[in-house]
Amino acid sequence: MFFPLNKFKVVGHSMEPAFKEGNRILVNRLAYLFSRPKPNDIVAIKHPRERDKILLKIIKMSLPKNQYFVVGINPSDSCDSRNFGSISKDLIFGKVWFSY
């Protein structure tokens, strides 16, 4: 069933200090229905190889053909576009709305 808002609990340290391990976030899955993701957006993405796994990343840059380069805030502890390449818009699960 599709829920436009999804709750998540953060695991890992690649997005610190903005998002610490254990933080809870609300993700809006409809945020990009009528707009395009833009740099510095914090997004939940589907892992390119394990689609049921959701990753927390920040968009570093928009590329042609609806491709996006995503990274972690702490690059040394992040598995991101430097490893699996740019991602297409359909892999963007939603935009992080706020943490609580």
Partner 1 sequence: MIKTLLKIIDRISPPKLIYAHCDIPCGIYDPHQAQLAAHTVIRMVNLINELKPTSEEPDLKERKRIIHQISRYTAVKEEHAELVKKEIRIIWADYFKSEHLEKYPGLHNLVFEIMKLASKARQEVNLEASQQLLSKVQEFAEIFFKTKGVEPIRIKTVYPTEGEIVLHK
The 18-47 contact track toward partner 1, x by CB under 8 A, reads -x-x--xxxx----------------x--x
Residues 52-81 contacting partner 1, CB under 8 A: 53-57, 72, 77-79
State the Cα angle at 73 between 68 and 76, rounded to 5°: 105
Torsion sign over Cα 32, 34, 40, 41: negative
Residue linked to tokens 């992040």: 78
Residues of this chain that bind partner 1 (CB under 8 A): 6-16, 19, 21, 24-27, 44, 47, 50, 53-57, 72, 77-79, 82-84, 98, 100
